[in-house]
Amino acid sequence: MIDQLAEIGDSLRTHKTRTALAILTVAWGIFMLVLLLGAGRGIQNGVELQFKDDAVNSIRIYQGKTTIAHNGLARGRSIQYSNADYDQVQAKVPHVDKLTARYYVGDNRVSYGGQQAAFDIRGVHPDHLYLEKTIITAGRYINELDLIERRKVCVIGLQVVDRLFAEVSPLGKLIELGGTVCQVIGVFTDEGSRSEEETVYMPVSTTQLMFAEPQRLHMLMYTVGDASYQQSKDSEQQVRSLLAETHNFAVEDKRAARIYNNLDEYKKITDLFFWVRVFVAVVGVGTVLTGILAVSNIMVISVNERRREIGIRKAIGATPGSITRLIVLESVILTTIAGYIGLLASLGLLELLKATVPENEYMYQPDVNTFVVVSVTVLVIASGTLAGYLPARRAARINPVEALQPS
């Protein structure tokens, strides 16, 4: 084996150009395969990042304006939600798991100790915690007792803490929200965008009281638990029918109640990325196979160039099996080295992209898992064996008498 490796080393050094081209071809194929897989994963991560701060199985119901005349009522009417709509959705709509409403505070001034800034202020129900995937880092979230007693309490995001409190703990402090003094009971972070941490949450009943609109709501949100995609669509239709009956608009008027089913978008994206992965795999494997074919052709050329050498080997007693092993081993070593170079280069570039590309919705944390790397390595070795086998068989069949004849 040591002698064979030495011979293979001499052969590769003797034909430097041929060896370099073979390595470059296979390395490029592996490089492109891993890079495409990593980039595809990065694009998918970027898109999925948009879903990180919202429950995937959520349905959002926005108020709108009618676009169809109905029951003698003209088009263009504004639909406004109320606590009664919240109660009806909770009682009558199937598959509702977590449910919340939102009341948006128009005056978004927040101040403490001489510091003042503008933040998004929302009145919500306790289940809003699950809809937005809010992570409490200190204190607690809004609860049912806060809602019933219309307590003047609030939960603030980390960006609010940074702007208003500096090194002071905000828990228990009194801050002014839209002209009303409230006590901070909790601090939260969010897995989604940074802007979500620039938010202040209050009990929805408190915000309604602050602005003298005790029944007013601006939107509804709920999750469908472990319901299937089709069951979520049925639930969505039930909500639309219920609101159409309550607010007297045509059920087919999609603009009167604008319903956004997060599962719709998630399903579209998962379906899209299935085909993206198929495309990337086909292109990548095709690139690798092109490199392997190039290696096979180079090995054929190598056999032809070494025809006289192989004839001498057979004349002095070399068996066809030993000739086959020598050629196959050379091919395996060539493709393994090339594959290793391609893997290192592609993984290095992916790590560079992960370190330098900022968080965005187009490309985020491009990466390949260990299984893919191992599979690519096995593919390279297996392909190297295959690339050298046919030329090796041809070499093993060389007639030593013919090979030693002068050309």
Reported confidence tier of residue 129, pLDDT bands at 50, 70, 90: very high
- pLDDT band (50, 70, 90) for residue 317: confident
Residue type present at position 301: I
pLDDT of 26 > 70? The answer is yes
Q: Record the tokens describing residue 348, joined without a space.
A: 């290095």
Give the SS3 label for residue 341. helix
In terms of DSSP bridges, do strands 180-190 and 153-157 run parallel, antiparallel, or are they unpaired? parallel
Q: Cα(29)–Cα(289) distance, rounded to whole angstroms?
A: 8
Tokens of 377: 């390595």
Q: Encode pLDDT of 348-396 as tens digits.
A: 888 888 778 776 666 677 777 777 777 777 777 777 777 777 777 777 7
CB contact at 8 A, 204 and 217: yes
Q: Is the pLDDT of residue 11 over 70?
A: no
The band of 50, judged by pLDDT with boundaries at 50, 70 and 90, is: low
Q: Decide if 125 contacts 101 (C-beta within 8 A).
A: yes
Would the pTM count as exceeding 0.75?
no
Q: How is residue 393 written in tokens?
A: 């068989």
Q: For 21-30, 202-211, 357-366, 387-396, which range has the lowest pLDDT when averaged over its residues?
A: 357-366
Please report, as a single letter, which amino acid is at residue 209.
L
- Tell me which DSSP letter residue 173 carries: -
Establish how many alpha carbons lie within 13 A of residue 47's alpha carbon, considering only the half-sphere containing its beta carbon: 14
Surface-to-core class of residue 306, CB atoms within 10 Å of its CB (0-12 exposed, 13-18 middle, 19+ buried): buried
| pLDDT tens digits for range 168-185 | 899 999 999 878 899 999
Residue 104 to residue 118: CA distance in whole angstroms:
14
Name the residue type at position 36: L
Question: What is the rounded CA–CA span in Å between residue 335 and residue 243?
Answer: 65
Q: How far apart are CA 186 and CA 207, in angstroms?
A: 17
Q: Please give the Cα distance from 187 to 313 (Å, whole number).
A: 80
φ, ψ (nearest 5 deg) of residue 280: -60, -45
Q: What percentage of the chain carries pLDDT values higher than 70?
A: 88
More confident residue, 313 or 406: 313
More confident residue, 41 or 147: 147
